[in-house]
């Protein structure tokens, strides 16, 4: 691979754009394809172009045959994004653990004392009110929202914005009683039971988590749990 092609791939990653790296395994020639940009020497005919588009749509790398050649299509999709509402102790661990798991994390809390660079080194921090901050964040089907402030003034506007979006995961901290009270309030705002069923709360997989770090692990596990349902059960003994 040419170093210039590699740099073009990294630029697309930096710009959070999906891209495909297409390599002819016989000749070694390659081409980087991203929206509105291409870099490399490999000629891509209509048949291969359709294969590349299909791989990008699926978000999965694959080997294809093209005119008797073996061509590998490496798909690079932007990382999943996580918006955390509230900059408390659990949020600090969630920022770290979700970051290690590959999520691009933004911490949202108007309280500058909590959401400080000292407490969240390296994280993207937004001090706007949560609903405004989420509008700017731009929730899509690759996004998750976790409300951890434990303050309805902060959590509920964020949850309302999340429920109106395609976010793949919406979670909220709080006991069953807190969840039930919130449900009643949000129903009063016009949300249906089906809408509110999207909220994972009490947040996180039920693994007996106790410490802030353990709760963060359970939340990351639950986000992954809903991310790829089609992969679940693979290689596992099925329980009756």
Q: Which of 235, 236, 223, 226 is closest to 98 using CA atoms?
A: 223
Residue closer to other proteins, measured from CB, 10 or 54:
10
Give contact residues for other proteins (rule: CB under 8 A): 1-3, 6-7, 9-10, 13, 23, 25, 28, 60-63, 70, 72, 74-76, 79, 95-96, 98-100, 102, 104-105, 120-124, 235
Residue closer to other proteins, measured from CB, 176 or 228:
228
For the bound state, the minimum distance from the C-beta of residue 91 to other proteins, rounded and expressed in Å, comes to: 11
Residue closer to other proteins, measured from CB, 6 or 227:
6
For the bound state, the minimum distance from the C-beta of residue 53 to other proteins, rounded and expressed in Å, comes to: 17
For the bound state, the minimum distance from the C-beta of residue 182 to other proteins, rounded and expressed in Å, comes to: 28
Residue closer to other proteins, measured from CB, 68 or 208:
68
Contact predicate 135/165, CB 8 Å: no
Helix H, strand E, coil C: the string for the chain is CCHHHHHHHHHHHHCCCCEEEEEECCCCCEEEEECCEEEECCCCCHHHHHHHHHHHHHCCCEEEEECCEEEEEEEECCCCEEEEECCCHHHHHHHHHHHHCCCEEEEECCCCCCCCCCCCCCCEEECCCHHHHHHHHCCCCCEEEEECCCCHHHHHHHHHHHHCCCCCEEEECCCHHHHHHHHHHHHHCCCCHHHHCCEECCCCCCCCCCCHHHHHHHHHHHHHHHHCHHHCCCCCCCCC
Residue closer to other proteins, measured from CB, 13 or 150:
13
For the bound state, the minimum distance from the C-beta of residue 187 to other proteins, rounded and expressed in Å, comes to: 36
For the bound state, the minimum distance from the C-beta of residue 101 to other proteins, rounded and expressed in Å, comes to: 9
Residue closer to other proteins, measured from CB, 7 or 164:
7
Contact predicate 194/170, CB 8 Å: no
For the bound state, the minimum distance from the C-beta of residue 141 to other proteins, rounded and expressed in Å, comes to: 20
């Amino acid at each position: 691979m040419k170093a210039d092609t590699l740099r073009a791939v990294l630029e697309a990653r930096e710009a959070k754009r999906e891209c495909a790296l297409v390599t002819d395994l016989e000749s070694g020639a390659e081409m980087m394809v991203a929206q509105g940009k291409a870099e490399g020497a490999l000629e891509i005919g209509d048949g291969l172009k359709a294969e590349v588009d299909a791989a990008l749509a699926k978000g999965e790398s694959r080997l294809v045959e093209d005119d008797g050649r073996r061509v590998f299509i490496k798909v690079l999709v932007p990382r999943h994004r996580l918006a955390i509402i509230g900059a408390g102790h659990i949020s600090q661990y969630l920022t770290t653990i979700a970051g290690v798991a590959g999520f691009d994390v933004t911490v949202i809390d108007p309280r500058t004392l909590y959401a400080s660079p000292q407490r969240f080194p390296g994280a993207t921090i937004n001090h706007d009110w949560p609903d405004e901050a989420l509008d700017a964040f731009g929730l899509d089907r690759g996004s998750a929202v976790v409300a951890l402030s434990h303050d309805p003034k902060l959590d509920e506007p964020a949850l309302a914005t999340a429920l109106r979006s395609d976010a793949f995961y919406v979670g909220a901290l709080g006991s069953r009683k807190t969840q039930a009270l919130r449900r009643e309030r949000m129903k009063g705002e016009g949300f249906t039971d089906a809408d509110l069923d999207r909220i994972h709360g009490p947040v996180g997989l039920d693994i007996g988590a106790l410490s802030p770090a353990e709760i963060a692990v359970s939340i990351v596990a639950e986000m992954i749990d809903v991310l790829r349902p089609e992969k679940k059960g693979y290689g596992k003994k099925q329980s009756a």
